[in-house]
Amino acid sequence: MSISKHAGLAGRQVINGPQAMVEAVLEIGIIPFFANAVRGYSIEEMTPAEHWFDSDDLGPWDWKIECVQSGQIAYGKFLYSGKASFASVEFYRELMNYRRSLPKYQAAGPQITVLDYVQEHGDITIKEVRSLLGVKKAAADNVIAKLQQQTRLVTGDFQRVYRGPDLHYSGWQTASFTTPEAMFSDSGETKGPGGFPFAGEPRALDSGHTPAESLEILCSRISSLFPNAGERDLMKILG
């Protein structure tokens, strides 16, 4: 599959299963889940309508689990003002290098409390955030979303939830969150949260670039595959 030839430039929809979704993310490098300021630049727009979430085919809503469990892809709310997104390790570390240099993406208050918990325990769920901070679900969701935008947390794993007398799975999932350092670093670990093996050798997260260079790498990557992306559009997605 050639994303540069098919999905991005020609607008063709090519994601029709979990493996195709993994391959698309790895080839593009970094991409939002949903349609955004750049036409064609989303998992949503690359997925045939019959595979988008309905009662019979859970599509990308479920396929994202394979992306996370592959150990090759970061998933979280880190692009386009905190919308769900995917990135290969290579391009996520560039985003992390850029984002963490910006004053508006520094952790503070309850966010630090959550990070301290994750450092001690390895990961955290929304239920655990609520208990730790003594807040309701909406507030817990907001803390986790901010930490994902700061590139300080990513989704570590998903668990499918089966309900009813027939234990039916309708797409409901629970997530745990961990640091990208724990998920992808060269610490010598060979498995990510949940015990899922990484593909290949563990990778370092030090990009070796300045924040400005990392931003340029990200912008160049997106605009090379999606030439309709203007500078303002790119900053809406990456800024």
pLDDT in tens, 130-179: 999 999 999 999 999 999 999 999 999 998 878 778 777 776 788 999 99
Instruction: Provide the whole-model pTM.
Output: 0.85
Sign of CA dihedral 166, 172, 177, 180: positive
Q: Are 77 and 189 in contact (CB under 8 A)?
A: no
**20-52 pLDDT tens trace:** 999 999 999 999 999 999 999 999 999 988 887
pLDDT at residue 55, rounded to an integer:
55
The average confidence (pLDDT) of the chain is 85
Per residue in 185-219, pLDDT (tens digit) is: 754 444 444 333 333 344 567 788 999 999 999 99
Question: Three-state SS for 32?
Answer: strand
Contact 192, 183 (CB under 8 A): yes
